[in-house]
Structure 1
Amino acid sequence: MNRADKWTLAAALGLFAGVLFLRYKLVTTLLPSDGHGLTVHKALEFGAALMQSGGVAAEAVLLTACLAIAVHSAIRGRIKRPWFAPRIARVMLLFLLANLLLAIGDGGNDSVNALVILSAFFFRLTGYISLIRGLYLASSVQESVDVNNHKTAPDRDELTGLASRRELQEQLQAEMARAAQLDKPLALILMDIDRFKTINDALGHSFGDSLLQAVSQRLRDNVNRADLVYRMGGDEFALLVLDLASTEAAELQAERLMGLFDAPIALGGAEYHITISVGLSFFPEDGQCVDLLIKNADTAMYAAKIHRNEYQSYRPEMTRTTQDRLRLESDLRKALETEQFTLAYQPLVNLATGRIVGVEALVRWQHPQRGLLPPGEFIPITEENGLILPLGEWVLLAACKQNKAWQEAGMPPIRMSVNLSMRQFRQHRLADRIQSILEQTGMPPEYLELEITESMTSDVEFAIHTLAELKALGVQISIDDFGTGYSSLGYLKRFPVDKLKIDRSFVTDLTEGGSDAAIVSTITSMAHQLKLKVTAEGVENDEQLRFLRERKCEEAQGYYFTKPIPANLFESWYRHHSQSA
């Protein structure tokens, strides 16, 4: 019952109390202490008249107040069942009976009239008691509902139906006490969906919610006790493993959890492959309080996320690694402001002629204290915190400036290949941003090649529309790391792309006689059927180069030719290579 309800009820009860007090004063005044001067019959007649006057007013006010409170509460959804309406009807019936009894008193028989009026008093008093009791119960029930809602709402995750972080904390506290008594360890497993933020940005929050529901259902269906699965928030889930015989048993459970997502998740008529990173902490060795055990499992999980799709058990040195990561994230923001980033360039070589036909721009971070950092140490952080957008735009601008500078220095025009991140690909008016950079730098669009990954094309219609806008600018488009994703080959022919880049993982063991050779041959043949060029990444020896030439692969890049070269050294390297080619 809110404040307005309470004031309304208080006013009604106050009026009722006033009427009762007035009756009491009048009756005691009119009845002498010796009992003479006023007969019982006249006193009862006087009381009946008083009841029919003041009582009716009190009834009207009380009933109006009750109805107002009941309707107000029902509208706001605070009274879940209309249990209050029958009570009001019953009270009105009691009041009606009281008034009828007063009306039929004939005054001919004092004893009969006395009985009738006393009955009227009884019915009316019963009505008042029932009404006031109903108001009290309404208030009590509502307060109980409010308390229960406040208590239970956080305990169950609304999206997935799993128990929430709060319930995990309570359950973990109880299980830790039990484990200590039984001298049996327990494990806390935290799981996080790899690249979930990128997926969410690419396919939308509605898709992200559906994915979380599918993940939670798969976890619930494949663990021994579904009541020990929790959603911590975001894309993070938890599992309690009780009565452990050894830590290896929990690690085996972590491997099984990762294996659950080897099979794709079907959503909206399409299949999506995801991976998870898993962190474990153990009671009592990794923490003897709830917060510390959760913190250490979280630390282990973030250690696993560095490489993705793996699990890690907590080790004390991980805490320092996590702290370093937080400092690195803070340093990244300063690096963008003070232009601490630089580009290195890896050549793309035409395998038929041996000529340099392009370069791929690769970002490096010249950290003031840590030195030159490769992209693997900071790009994942920028993807998570959104800094990939300003960093990606800086890379595009710097790469186009550099290519234009080489052309003005007399070098033959070559293609500048730049990777787009998932967030960039989904960025509003991407084509307009790229066109602005081309106009700003003066670089002809045909010398810019944009690299996307298969995962960016999961939303097929969006990918086709965005790629068409980019192609309209006159730029080249290639699909990087081809063969590692799960895009449908049926859609590939609909994408307006120019080239497929074979991932280095297939090139490394190309000459070992395994399946990699068949995969490379198949990709190359398919690309040629679709009138697409092929570039092989990660070429390191003559045998690989010979195999690729035999399969008519057009271009290659890798350490066989050179490592990525800084801009100030590339021009001299290029001239030297051109003379010896």
Structure 2
Amino acid sequence: MVVASVALSSLVLDHSVTGRVVTILAAGLLVATAVTRLLKGRRTEADLLRSLMDESRSQSILLNDIENHVDTVFWTCTPDFQHLLHVSKAFERMWQMPMSALIGDDSAWQRRVHVDDVGPLHDAMRIAIRDGIYMQSSFRLVMPDATIKWVRVDAYPVTDAHGRVERYVSVCVDVTEERRRLTQLDYLAHVDSLTHLANRKSMMDALSKACGETAAFALLFIDVDRFKLLNDTVGHMAADRLLRIIGRRIRKVLPEASVVARPGGDEFTAILPGLWSEDELGRICGRLTKVVEYPIKSGQQGLELSLSVGIALFPDHGHTREALLTSADTAMYAAKRAGRNTWRIFGAAEKNDLTRNRLEQELGSAFRNGQFSLHYQPQICLRTRKVIGVEALLRWNHPVRGFVSPAEFVPLLEHAGLILPVGDWVVAQATEALSELHRLGYPLSMSINVSAVQFRDTSIQDAIATNLRFHGLRGESLVVEITESILMDRSEAVQHALNAIRDMQVGIALDDFGTGFSSLSYLAKFRPEALKLDKSFVDDIEDDAVALTIVQGVIDLAHRLGVHVLAEGVEREGQLQLLEEAGCDSIQGYLVGRPVPFADLIVQLALEPATSASAGEHHSRA
């Protein structure tokens, strides 16, 4: 009686049985309450006996009703699960097997258990027998009409006064509907609802599993070219239909063992197990790019699409799912830059792209964390061999890579939109250093590089004016180096900035002269204070007569226009002599001084106190 009550309470708590059962329980509760009242009323023993007999009949009716009307199967068996002691009538409804089948064959119920579930069920039984513990297991029943029914069994040990298991009381519940809902939820959690391919979660799980094994595989990152424009043109519903068609076509042309997914938007991925040669991947990608060559109808028009594919190989291009996805994505963008409708395998060029992307992502924190600094390179007058100025050069001391080349990170500053705040910081630092040089008795000029982006923003002149005023510096002690592209930019903003800087008496030097597409007419009209010969010209003047002739001609032309000439990248004594003979005014390069931190510059100047000249000598026109 106690066991039945425990099983029944478990049933009600776990499975919310029908209202009929609740009514029966309520009746049982009323009987128990009546007994309690009889005891409290101190009736005669005959009354008490009669009441107990009524209670027994009521509970017998309760158990009989449970047997006949509740679809949960109750049974008791020996501690070894070999012999059934009692089975409720619901067995016939759940198992679709007559009770008579159990007479003489206590294991007959197992004939309905799915063959794949017999082993796990027996394992659970063996553990329960060995440890004398509660057991729960789920298994499938195969009905006579081949339909499947999921059943969950909970088996509770009943022990004697010494703690030995006397029998097991089991409760079997039909959980088919619950399993169906779980299967549906699992499907929704792992499948893209639009294309019915694997979704992002499923793809990431598959990638993690593949990376955890040693077998090689290829990861393809597939992107529909110009899909946003298409989406805006045909509308979201038509675009979704196109994605479904593309997804089906991609799945059709890839190897059967591939895991194809749509992580989101117009992107698809595919994991191709195995070791693939470049030729094999080329053929596969060729089939992929052709799947959209056949026009896809949208309304009355046929839409022509294309795909760009990036490929990463495990383990060559990454050991983790994140690294592989990044490599494949980088290769895909390389395919787009190559003209779209093609494919690329992650290689040296893509690795450089990836490095640039990572550096660009780190620029903001690098600036905030003080990883940027200025180094200063001396500029020497060839006539007097004295230091007449220094150029402030931006440096990035990366915590892992060390010093990063300015040619590598300065364009990234512009692309990331950080050139303006960094540029303002450079002006502030350089003018502070210039003020300190003058305070220490070194009346040198300070050259700073300014990008075209800063000129177009027009805030550069405000930064220069503010810092000159703050440090009490004269404008002619500062030189702004610009590229030929700025000189040729006739926009109002750039011209206004150039004129404003000149009005402050700040010198302007034309940097990297000869490497761009400058016009001599612009040089004649603008007439900068200084012209800097690019290192590429200086490198060859010892061995190339044409290069020397060009340098001589540029120096002569500049002097006729009243422009000071400074040669960059001077590294050998022979170059210095030829430049001096050509009439070059000043030089800058490793031969006469490398870029150094400000403290080291001061030490160098202090060791040769007589080598510095006034700032005005830098700007004097020949």
TM-score when normalising by structure 2: 0.46
The answer to which structure has the higher helix fraction is: 1
